[in-house]
Structure 1
Amino acid sequence: MTEAVFAGFFTGLSLILAIGAQNAFVLRQGLRREHVGLVVAICAGSDALLIAAGVSGFGALSAMAPWLAETMRWGGVAFLVVYGALRFAAAARGGAALLPSAAPAAARGQVVATALLLTWANPHVYLDTVVLLGSVAAQYPGRAMGFAAGAMTASVCFFTALGYGARLLAPIFAQAKAWVWLEIGVGLLMWSIAAALVFS
């Protein structure tokens, strides 16, 4: 069982380390110190549900209903395009307006909605957590839940470190210009992921 737990932990961590829309949002919230615990809980909790679904064999459903993946793909594209445009608009307003001390805090409901959309409207999340982790977990018969527990633990550790560790970058982001570049970078990332979804 220990082997399965460690395999789940490192497999899950290797998948989640890639910078994506969800990670960029967690980093941004961590830098702004806005609803960080809530965002971490939503991302890690969503991962746990998806991992559990994958280990339980939910991957077979997506194989039987290919339209489901296609629907999620185009929904994800639309959301990423809009969210990326919002980031460019924020950068255009100027760095001073983006500093945590100057900008009004985002409403809790808005943050929750964004975190949920960046997680559940992203087809790559299903590919990684449901399909891929579900497939690897099948290699540990009788120990699949140990594998799932390891992967879930990796998710909690990563999002906690990303959300709360972001404040270590505070000296850099004390400069207004740094926030402009962050918003531009996040916007470019969102649009590049959207483009990848369109042409994949």
Structure 2
Amino acid sequence: MNLVSAGISGFALGGSLIIAIGAQNAFILRQGLIRSHVFILCLICALADAVLIAAGVGGLGTIVSQSPVLISVVTIGGAIFLGTYAVMAFRRALNPAAMVAGAPEGMALKPAVLTCLAFTFLNPHVYLDTVVLLGSLSAAFEGAERTAYGAGAATASFVWFFGLGYGARFLAPLFGRPAAWRVLDVLIGVVMSLLALGLVVSFLRGQ
């Protein structure tokens, strides 16, 4: 297998893992709709994925998969954080405001960055997808091909997050009404709640 094929394989697998309705994607979508700190938040998500993918391809996946204590800590922390954010989303849904794209509403930069980092690193599925799964599958490649595979997967993250963040503005006309924001926040709240519940169930089953 040549470098191009390895890169395409990494891109396809990486893309299939991140293109899903999840906490991180929901957050980026909402920030993209209000055009708040879009570039820095997309960059954080993409770079975090790239670092974790590199770690997995480099062999860290084996260590993480064999550390139940680490997985448990991240699982509990992630469930608490997602549950809290779900409550915040439901509260916003009760009092929606018609947001105009490009207006300054939303989080300040520091809390937005911290929230983005929490969504990224307090989600055990991030480690399972990028470090463990992508890392373990990289064993099928050697040398430069493994590097190309990892680069392809990381590129998929950059394409997805920046596409999601900046593509969200095309939905801005729809979100000129309070009802649209209510629906979005309810959906975000449901997604966060289900993810938090899933983490709790996963933790209990592992005990």
TM-score (normalised: structure 1) = 0.95
Q: 2:71 aligns with which of 58, 69, 72?
A: 69
CA distance in 2, matches of 1:48, 1:139: 19
Query: Counterpart of 1:170 in structure 2: which amino acid?
Result: A
| 1:95-174 aligned within 5 A | 95-96=97-98, 98=99, 104-142=105-143, 143-174=145-176
The answer for the alignment partner of 2:11 in structure 1 is 9
Query: Counterpart of 1:32 in structure 2: which amino acid?
Result: I
The alpha-carbon deviation at position 104 of structure 1 amounts to 3.0
How high is the sequence identity, in percent, across the aligned residues?
Answer: 47
Query: Counterpart of 2:141 in structure 1: which amino acid?
Result: Y
Residues 121-170 of structure 1, C-alpha deviation per residue, up to 9 Å, x if partnerless?
00000000000000111111221111000001000000011000001111
Contact 1:8-1:148 within 8 A present in 2 as well:
yes
Displaced runs of 4 or more, over 6 A: none
Structure 1 residues 11 and 146: CA distance shift in structure 2, 3 A = same
TM-score (normalised: structure 2) = 0.92
5+ residue gaps, structure 1, are none
Contact 2:35-2:102 within 8 A present in 1 as well:
no
Name the Cα RMSD after superposition. Answer: 1.4
The alpha-carbon deviation at position 94 of structure 1 amounts to 2.6
Contact 2:65-2:132 within 8 A present in 1 as well:
no
| 1:21-100 aligned within 5 A | 21-96=23-98, 98=99
What secondary structure, in the 3-state scheme, does the structure 1 residue paired with 2:106 have?
coil
What secondary structure, in the 3-state scheme, does the structure 1 residue paired with 2:140 have?
coil
Structure 1 residues 159 and 101: CA distance shift in structure 2, 3 A = closer
60-69 vs 161-170, which deviates more? 60-69
CA distance in 2, matches of 1:74, 1:132: 21
Q: How many residues align?
A: 199
CA distance in 1, matches of 2:65, 2:118: 23
CA distance in 2, matches of 1:181, 1:101: 20
Contact 2:35-2:169 within 8 A present in 1 as well:
yes
Contact 2:14-2:134 within 8 A present in 1 as well:
yes
What secondary structure, in the 3-state scheme, does the structure 2 residue paired with 1:141 have?
coil
CA distance in 2, matches of 1:100, 1:197: 33
CA distance in 2, matches of 1:80, 1:66: 21
The alpha-carbon deviation at position 63 of structure 1 amounts to 3.1
Contact 1:99-1:176 within 8 A present in 2 as well:
no
5+ residue gaps, structure 2, are 203-207
What secondary structure, in the 3-state scheme, does the structure 2 residue paired with 1:69 have?
helix
What secondary structure, in the 3-state scheme, does the structure 2 residue paired with 1:19 have?
coil
Structure 1 residues 130 and 116: CA distance shift in structure 2, 3 A = same
CA distance in 1, matches of 2:102, 2:128: 38
85-94 vs 66-75, which deviates more? 85-94
